[in-house]
Structure 1
């Protein structure tokens, strides 16, 4: 399965709106250098532009990064990925899928506006196995797909 990086978004503080950037450095076992959400098992968050477009159809004015995702993808069915799958991005970066969806403890502004948010059910999270530089339009490819949701 293949796709592309649509955009990259980071924030230096948790709880702040992420800003789009034209280049990012993925650091092994950390995440995106300069992003406040690095470390742990959910180092990098990904959401498909197709998921964002679902919210637009509900009348919500949203764009890449508005769901606090680090990487907005295009053309890849993220929801079909299994835990443990490996995703190559660009020339050398390698991610491992660690979480699918998330619990939304504090309803975000988007949820408060329309009663729905796609990130908790369609966002995925990964840890960085191999670092590298990534940028919008980079190719993405699943290089290892696990057969079940358990590791």
Structure 2
């Protein structure tokens, strides 16, 4: 049974990167969060944006799977796939510990201007509705199996 936003912790299901924006990401099992930059090796990482890293709950992905879509962690271009916390309900400014790194929520959802590869391939993208974006406050390693916690 999934936890809800009243619970303060959950787990990390996948850590994913891609070398090109707008494409599915590949689970790399572990990565390095870089302070005020993002996930090392990911095309979306930049000190010039408040959207340095993206998160999506496995519960959101399962909604799409229940519609018959063959989708998995990373397919919606999220960097970190979580379980246990209802991410879309977190207020802007919420701080999360992810592995040894600290993240700050900067945006809930996003406007999708053009259908990205994900939208074209699966027919819909849950990221604009249920994904969140963060900036990296404190860097450090993050890996599958780590706890993610509201702090």
1:148 maps to: none
Question: How many residue pairs get matched?
Answer: 142
1:11 pairs, out of 9, 15, 18, with 18
User: Which residue number in structure 2 is paired with residue 57 of structure 1?
Assistant: 66
Secondary structure of 1:55's match?
helix
Q: Which residue of 2 aligns with 1:47?
A: 56
- In 2, Cα distance between equivalents of 1:93 and 1:56: 30
1-structure distance, mates of 2:109, 2:39: 19
Aligned-residue offset at 1:114: 6.0
Supply the RMSD in Å over aligned alpha carbons: 1.4
Q: CA–CA distance in 1 between the matches of 2:148 and 2:34?
A: 17
Matched with 1:24 is 31
* Bigger shift: residues 38-47 or 102-111: 102-111
Structure 2 residue runs without a partner (length 5+): 1-7
* Distance in structure 1 (CA, Å) of the matches to 2:138 and 2:144: 18
The aligned counterpart of 1:97 is: 105
Alignment partner of 1:133 is 2:141: yes
Does residue 83 (structure 1) correspond to residue 92 (structure 2)? The answer is yes
Deviation at 1:87, TM superposition (A): 0.3
Gaps in structure 1 of 5+ consecutive residues? 144-151
Question: Which deviates further from its counterpart, 9-18 or 79-88?
Answer: 9-18
**Alpha-carbon distance between aligned partners in 1 of 2:41 and 2:53, rounded to the nearest angstrom:** 12
Query: What's 1:70 paired with?
Result: 79
Matches of 2:24 and 2:125, distance apart in 1: 16
TM-score, normalised to structure 2, is: 0.89
Q: How many Å apart are 1:116 and its aligned residue?
A: 3.0
